[in-house]
Structure 1
Amino acid sequence: MIEKILEYIRKYETIIIHRHVRPDPDAMGSQGGLACLIRDNFPDKKVYTVGEEADSLRFLRSMDQIADDVYDGALVIVCDTANRERVSDQRFDRGAHLIKIDHHPIVDSYGDPEWVDPSASSTSEMITSIVRKHRELVLTDEAARLLFAGIVGDTGRFQFSNVTEQTFLAAAELVRHPFDRQAFFDQLYIRKLDVVRLNGYVLQHFTLTDEGVGFIKLPLELVHSYHLESSDASSLVNSFANVEGIKAWVLFSEEDGQIRARIRSKGPVINELAANFNGGGHPLASGATVYSWGEADQLIEGLKELCRSWK
């Protein structure tokens, strides 16, 4: 897959890189890290990164604004996005050729080649493996910073079960570069005062069921009372993850006529349940969308059943 992708990169003069909506550090890190890698090794090529901006991640990278005609004859690469509906900037299919690079289980097959590796901790780890395989490629400090951000973000600072030997080897490759890791961590985990106060509400009001399911519901009116948006609330999904007895948990945040569910687990497999509620993801980290609080209760009941049957 790596060889095929490099062949296409060498072939095209214009390359446009996308990632998923509501980006996290891996989406931004893999997208930006790949863009740096291409620009630094093929300086004559035109490379763009597109998608909506995320205020909390602007310190990683800003997006390019490009006209529709830039896609004419271009290679498009989509990073860290399992299905086409979640690609940020839906012009991704206007190029001459499309490639997918992702670590989520396949739910929507697109791109040629379609490089998907669910055993990888992150798409950033996959991009780093290109450099580890091809030592002739230049890896700059900025590319290393971005890829490190993606790995750190999707592994919870190397705490999650998706961390493997390859994850640590990739991280070791990246930290050889002298980017300011302390500044990076300070920026990644800094929180606005209002988010900290909402976090206090979450800790006071979440529910833990007898089955080991934790959940919190955050109506939009409540979030707005803290002068925040639903995207701010989503960052609190792991606020009560370490409570004794918890097996799986979900944070519901209302936004624009729908309710986003961020679901996490310490063992029960949750991505099939998420798929039943307009979502999907990894076995222990998934997302879903419901359209009423009653439907949210159905998702909670599904989590309870998974926890009851899990050993």
Structure 2
Amino acid sequence: MKLEIIKKIREHDTIIIHRHVRPDPDAIGSQAGLKELIKTNYPNKTVYLAGEQEESLAFLQEMDTIDDSVFHQALIIVCDTANTERIDDDRYKNGAFLIKIDHHPNVDEYGDMAWVDTNASSTCEMICDLFSEEGDVIQFSDEASRLLYAGIVGDTGRFKFSNTTKKTFYHASRLINANFDPTDLYDAMYETSLPLLRLKGYVLSEVEIRESGAGVVYLTKDILEKFNVDSKEAAGIVNAFSTLKGIKSWVFFVEEPDVIRVRLRSKGPEIHKLAEKYNGGGHPMASGASVTTWDETKEFLVELDQLCANYNN
């Protein structure tokens, strides 16, 4: 499959790379890292990054402006996106050929070609694997290395999460030899604002720990306004109490104008199936979903309690 993807990259002069909405470092790192690798090793190709600009991650890479006409003969590659509803920029449908590269469970089987590896720590790790097929002929530029390293760091929680493997460390060790400053990268990735820091203090004082071992945080619009933090920024503190002794899983209910975002994490019970039941999905230990009413959050908690109560370490 990896060699077939490389073959398609060689066959097309124009390549447009997409990722999911509300991107994280792995989404942009894999998207932009792939662009850098293609441009370095196949310099005659034209490569674009599709999607809305995410200002909080502008230190990684900025997106391109793409005319509609460019899509028709282009190879489209979608990185780090499990289902079509989450692909940023729906013009991905207008390309000549569509490839999916992802490490989430393959719930939505889209694309003319799909490479899904749920054992990979991140899609950035998969991009490293993809080009490692070519051996030493492929050059990893300093910028590609920086971008891919950022994605691996982000999706492994700085190598703390259980998805970190020997292969993860192998690729990270190769990438970090490039000419970029990992300390500067960490600072940019984990820098926080004073309003967000104060919201984190509120979360730590108000988190509800249930008998089942589930943790619950409610971030209503009023609370977000009080701390002057938006729902995207609030996602940055979802692991605020992940080290709490005895906690099995936890959920943040974050209110937006038309939906309540469900940010779900776990230290044991597999939660992605629960997320799928509520318009979402993700990884067994990290998923997201959405509900429309606070009554639905109560139903969600009943099921989360059952998952936690039935889980034995």
Determine if the TM-score, normalized by the shorter chain, exceeds 0.5.
Answer: yes
Match of 1:116 in 2: 116
Distance 2:218 2:293 in 1: 11
* Superposed counterparts of 1:48-197, under 5 Å: 48-134=48-134, 135-197=136-198
Q: State the 1:221 CA deviation.
A: 2.1
Match of 2:37 in 1: 37
Q: State the 1:34 CA deviation.
A: 0.2
Distance 1:111 1:150 in 2: 23
Asked whether the 8 Å contact 2:3–2:133 carries over to 1, the reply is no
Distance 2:133 2:59 in 1: 29
Q: State the 1:112 CA deviation.
A: 2.5
Match of 1:216 in 2: 217
Distance 1:6 1:105 in 2: 23
Q: State the 1:217 CA deviation.
A: 0.7
Match of 2:260 in 1: 259
| Deviation digits for residues 77-133 of structure 1 (CA, Å, limit 9, x no counterpart) | 000000000001111111111000000010111112200000000000000112322
Q: State the 1:244 CA deviation.
A: 1.4
| Deviation digits for residues 149-170 of structure 1 (CA, Å, limit 9, x no counterpart) | 0000000000011111111111
Match for 1:18: what amino acid?
H
Match of 1:309 in 2: 310
Identity, in percent, stands at 50
What is the TM-score normalised by the length of structure 1?
Answer: 0.98
Distance 1:91 1:181 in 2: 35
| Deviation digits for residues 150-209 of structure 1 (CA, Å, limit 9, x no counterpart) | 000000000011111111111111111121111000100000111101111111111001
Runs of 4+ in structure 1 displaced over 2 angstroms? Answer: 130-133
Distance 1:53 1:203 in 2: 31
Q: State the 1:2 CA deviation.
A: 1.2
Task: Tell me whether 83-92 or 225-234 shows the greater mean CA deviation.
Answer: 225-234
What is the TM-score normalised by the length of structure 2?
Answer: 0.98
Match for 2:208: what amino acid?
T
Distance 1:294 1:73 in 2: 47
Distance 1:185 1:111 in 2: 34
Match for 2:121: what amino acid?
S
Query: What stretches of structure 1 of length at least 5 have no aligned partner?
Result: none
Q: Secondary structure at the match of 2:192?
A: coil
Query: What stretches of structure 2 of length at least 5 have no aligned partner?
Result: none
Match of 1:19 in 2: 19
Match of 2:271 in 1: 270
- How many residue pairs get aligned? The number is 311
Distance 2:99 2:93 in 1: 10
Q: State the 1:284 CA deviation.
A: 0.9
Match of 2:285 in 1: 284
Q: State the 1:56 CA deviation.
A: 1.4
| Deviation digits for residues 32-89 of structure 1 (CA, Å, limit 9, x no counterpart) | 1000000111111110001112121110000001111110200000000000000011
Is residue 2 of structure 1 aligned with residue 2 of structure 2? yes
| Deviation digits for residues 202-238 of structure 1 (CA, Å, limit 9, x no counterpart) | 1111100111100101012210222221111111110
Match for 2:205: what amino acid?
Q
Q: State the 1:255 CA deviation.
A: 1.3
Match for 1:6: what amino acid?
I
Q: Secondary structure at the match of 2:237?
A: coil
Match for 2:147: what amino acid?
L
Match for 1:289: what amino acid?
S
Q: Secondary structure at the match of 1:235?
A: helix
Distance 1:254 1:184 in 2: 30
